Amino acid sequence: MVSVGTQLSYSTLKNHVRSKAVQVSICNTAGTETSQQDTRFKLSSTPGKASAPSLGVRPAKRPRLELQEDEEDEGNLSENAQPHDSTYDLDDSPSEMRGMESTCDYTDPKYIVFESCLRDLFQTCPVCRWECVVQQRSLGTFVSFSQRCPNCQYTRKWQSQPIKGNTPVGNLQMSAAVYFTGASFIQMEKICKAMNLQMFHYDTFRRHARMFLEPAINHKWKTDQQTLVERLKEKDKIAVGGDMRADSAGPSPKFSSYALMHLDSNNIIDVQLVQSNEVGGSSNMETEGLRRGLDFLEAHLLDVDYIVTDRHAQVEKHLKERNVEQYYDVWHLEKDLSQQLENLAKNKECLVVRKWLPSIKNHIYWTATASKSGPEKVAKWKSLVNHLQNVHKHEDPLFPRCTHPDRVSRDPNKWFQPGSLALNKVEKLLLDKQILHDVEKLSHDHQISSLEAFHSTTERFTPKNDVLSFIGRLCRLYLAAMHFNENGKRDQSTSLEGKAVYKIMFPNCSNGQYITNPNQTAPTFQYVSDLMKLLFKKIFEDPTRYIEDLNEISIPEDRWTQFERPS
């Protein structure tokens, strides 16, 4: 084979023009027939280590993960071979393609391009205008084209995205975008299939998650958590709120998450994930989650002033043993009493109860916030029974008389009649011994409504109908905590005139009655940008240390391992 050529004036094409044997800037081939059989390849979604090529030295080929059937070399397989993964050989690409590996960044804008539009760019030779032979290779969101002119032997290769290691950057960034935003890959895959947008397989997504995404989430959460702890150490004592959320409704959930919140700043301090079989059943999950959370606070030398929780009996017993002061959230008591009163109002002889439901609900909150003293709360709570009969003087010395002026109505239907069935049932319910005990412990300062809002946030990151592994669910809880801490205290939005904006809502529990809530500003997603930067700048280069940190998390055995599987 002899290559004879003339110097071309196409200076912009000289790096693309090459022969089979020698890459030069002159490309006219005379008197020979060159056999150029393009070997098919695919790219790897699992990166391999590759050193940057030095000047004048041919870079070593990256380890192959899987070779195609038409390739002759079958002895260089990797242990992590996947059925749809292979290696892109950068040696076969022009020099400017190898430069693209380092110049392109994950922050570059992306566009949806049709395949027919791309093929139009490679149909004809830019030198002699002949029709070229075009070969296409793809893996997930990546696509490349090889162009060869049969007339002047002009060749060119083009790829749609940069490659780092042996991984297309777009594939990894797609996995990261789905995971970091709390989205579902299955739903994303359905969307891509509906519009015939090329996407990689679920196995590739899970491999990205294990090697890069979950270590990045774990590292960032631990870093943010440590920063929050150091800030809280400056305070003498902190008030926290705690509550549990189960992964499924019913008496036997598999997972439950227990969150501790700093009530002054509305920041999530710690999230604990508990599996039912590691604590002997779902009834012990809330207590175990609380115990782990308090152990974390003690290990980091945070002194708890008091904790606000629901009215769980085992939680109360555990806090007494640890000598931690406990208060009850008002909403949980109001919800329980409202349900019982609504059931009572269905009786024909107790229809007057329904008229008093809003006032009774307001009285619960007024009793809790009016005083810190437990006995004074009970005295004010007992005054509610006198109000129902239009009596405003009380026998209790702590609260002998109401502070508002007497209002006497001539309509007897507005009040409970002494000795009536309705009054007896309401009085029995409101003055129950357990209710009086719970009223005495109602929180006077903070409530855990923000913690309930955090549980609503976790619904978007860990839907109850999604089947997730222990680490996968824990990392998504960390994402929910990062999102909530960043957006937990958003400002109220204003109009162009500078006026505060509100929105009208109709809650299901209000039976058509509306409420007004401040309209908050749009949420931000800075934590997603920080995770992307951490992924591509640090973890992708060397994930070993981050994977080791993730492996330190204790993972309980699955519940099915306790049972014998049938043949």
Each residue's pLDDT tens digit, 49-73? 433 333 344 444 433 333 233 333 3
* Phi, psi (degrees; rounded to nearest 5) at 146: -115, 125
- Alpha carbons 140 and 125: distance in angstroms, whole number: 28
The predicted model gives 506-522 an average pLDDT of 81
Which of 114-118, 357-361, 458-462, 499-503 shows the lowest mean pLDDT across its residues? 357-361
Confidence (pLDDT) at 22: 35
The predicted model gives 15-41 an average pLDDT of 37
Confidence (pLDDT) at 471: 94
**Secondary structure of 73-118 in HEC code, one letter for each residue:** CCCCCCCCCCCCCCCCCHHHCCHHHHHHHHHCCCCCCCCCCCHHHH
Confidence (pLDDT) at 354: 84
The model's pLDDT over 367-378, given as tens digits with 9 standing for 90+, comes to 888 777 788 888
Q: Between these two residues, 544 and 105, which has the higher pLDDT value?
A: 544
For residue 4, pLDDT over 80 is answered with: no
- Alpha carbons 488 and 140: distance in angstroms, whole number: 37
Q: Which residue shows structure tokens 């912009």? A: 12
Confidence (pLDDT) at 421: 86
Q: Between these two residues, 297 and 46, which has the higher pLDDT value?
A: 297
- Alpha carbons 553 and 218: distance in angstroms, whole number: 10
- Name residue 110's amino acid: K
For residue 83, pLDDT over 50 is answered with: no
Average pLDDT, the chain: 79
pLDDT band with cut points at 50, 70 and 90 for residue 538: very high
C-alpha 541: how far from its chain's center?
24
- How many Cβ atoms sit within 10 Å of the Cβ of residue 365? 15
Confidence (pLDDT) at 392: 60
Confidence (pLDDT) at 318: 94
pLDDT band with cut points at 50, 70 and 90 for residue 36: very low
Confidence (pLDDT) at 430: 87
- What tokens does 343 get? 């059931």
* Phi, psi (degrees; rounded to nearest 5) at 391: -120, 130
Confidence (pLDDT) at 344: 87
pLDDT band with cut points at 50, 70 and 90 for residue 282: confident
For residue 20, pLDDT over 80 is answered with: no
Q: Which residue shows structure tokens 């009285």? A: 363
For residue 10, pLDDT over 60 is answered with: no
Domains and CATH numbers, the chain: 29-52+59-194 (no CATH), 217-329+529-551 (3.30.420), 330-440 (no CATH), 492-523 (no CATH)
Confidence (pLDDT) at 40: 34
- What tokens does 521 get? 């500003």
The model's pLDDT over 324-350, given as tens digits with 9 standing for 90+, comes to 999 999 988 888 888 888 888 888 888
- Alpha carbons 61 and 562: distance in angstroms, whole number: 47
Confidence (pLDDT) at 107: 87
Share of residues in the chain with pLDDT > 70 (%): 76
For residue 321, pLDDT over 80 is answered with: yes
For residue 39, pLDDT over 60 is answered with: no
Residue 93 in contact with residue 155, Cβ under 8 Å?
Answer: no
pLDDT band with cut points at 50, 70 and 90 for residue 387: confident
Which of 33-37, 293-297, 325-329, 405-409 shows the lowest mean pLDDT across its residues? 33-37
Confidence (pLDDT) at 84: 37
For residue 286, pLDDT over 80 is answered with: yes
Q: Which range in 10-14, 37-41, 249-253, 502-506 is most confidently predicted, on average pLDDT?
A: 502-506
The predicted model gives 274-285 an average pLDDT of 87
- Alpha carbons 1 and 30: distance in angstroms, whole number: 9
The model's pLDDT over 166-206, given as tens digits with 9 standing for 90+, comes to 889 999 999 999 999 999 999 999 999 999 999 999 999 99
Confidence (pLDDT) at 248: 76
Confidence (pLDDT) at 410: 65
Q: How far is CA 342 from CA 329, 333, 352, 510, in A?
A: 21, 14, 11, 12
Confidence (pLDDT) at 81: 33
Residue 154 in contact with residue 127, Cβ under 8 Å?
Answer: yes
